[in-house]
Structure 1
């Protein structure tokens, strides 16, 4: 596919997910809750996760927040990608997404929707927008004391 067509497709997916997100809202009950903030531009994401009874698999994930099209589209795509996955699988997706934002490889065919964000890597100032929800998810899943109330706000200021 020519590069211009690929950019157009990426932009179309981002705008569609921004305008009509599939995962906007809050889960009930909430087992993990994490707020993320990008001080560079003011984007905020509020993630809520519902886990299975063993606390090992993401049953549902939703987000609320305000920000640019890239931040909100990335959060929406992320929610689709990690729903139903174990915590280690979700953390692997976080690492792969962040590597893609640094110019790494795309996702395989079964996760190709995430590749819509690859075009963002060409704009270094926007990478933090794309990574915000992923950074918040990683923090929520790795926190030693899982918070259902999300009292701490994690900033992606010093991350890629």
Structure 2
């Protein structure tokens, strides 16, 4: 598969997740909720962590928001990757994703850890879009901190 064919597949996956997002819609009973805004472009995400009682396992992630295809696809891809992980595992993946996003294209995201969210790696070359891709991930990080503080 050529580089342009692979990039086309990545773009299609991002567009598919932005059109048909996973985990969209807030649900009562969240252990924590975080609302994040990208002041540069106005993208917004409200993300909820639902944790299995008595554990540190993320049972479900739900979200709502609006914005560009990258921010919406990133939230959807995050949900797909996060369900069922422990909060330390989830934090590790957020850290790996952040490192890739800050790399300006020099670090390929780890597909084994990030699943399909690794397709967002190309965004790291566009500094103005990194905040869009990070929005849901930052919201999740804030929600994890809320659960730990409770």
Counterpart in 1 of 2:145?
142
Counterpart in 2 of 1:158?
none
Greater relative CO, 1 or 2 (CA 8 Å, sep 6+): 1
TM-score, structure 1 as length reference: 0.85
Q: CA RMSD in A?
A: 1.6
Asked if 1 retains the 8 angstrom alpha-carbon contact of 2:48 and 2:143, the reply is no
Shift of 1:81: 0.7
Q: Give the structure with the larger helix fraction.
A: 2
Q: Deviations over 1:23-82 (max 9, x none)?
A: 101133111111011000000000111101114110011110111000010000001111
Structure 1 residue runs of 4 or more that deviate by more than 3 Å after TM superposition: 108-112, 143-146
CA distance in 2 between counterparts of 1:18 and 1:108 reads: 20
Shift of 1:109: 4.1
Aligned length: 146
TM-score, structure 2 as length reference: 0.90
CA distance in 2 between counterparts of 1:109 and 1:88 reads: 16
Farther-moved stretch of structure 1 (136-145 vs 115-124): 136-145
Farther-moved stretch of structure 1 (65-74 vs 134-143): 134-143
Q: What pairs with 1:1-160 in structure 2 (closer than 5 Å)?
A: 1-103=1-103, 104-109=107-112, 111-143=114-146, 145-146=149-150
- Runs of 5+ consecutive residues of structure 2 not aligned to the other structure: none
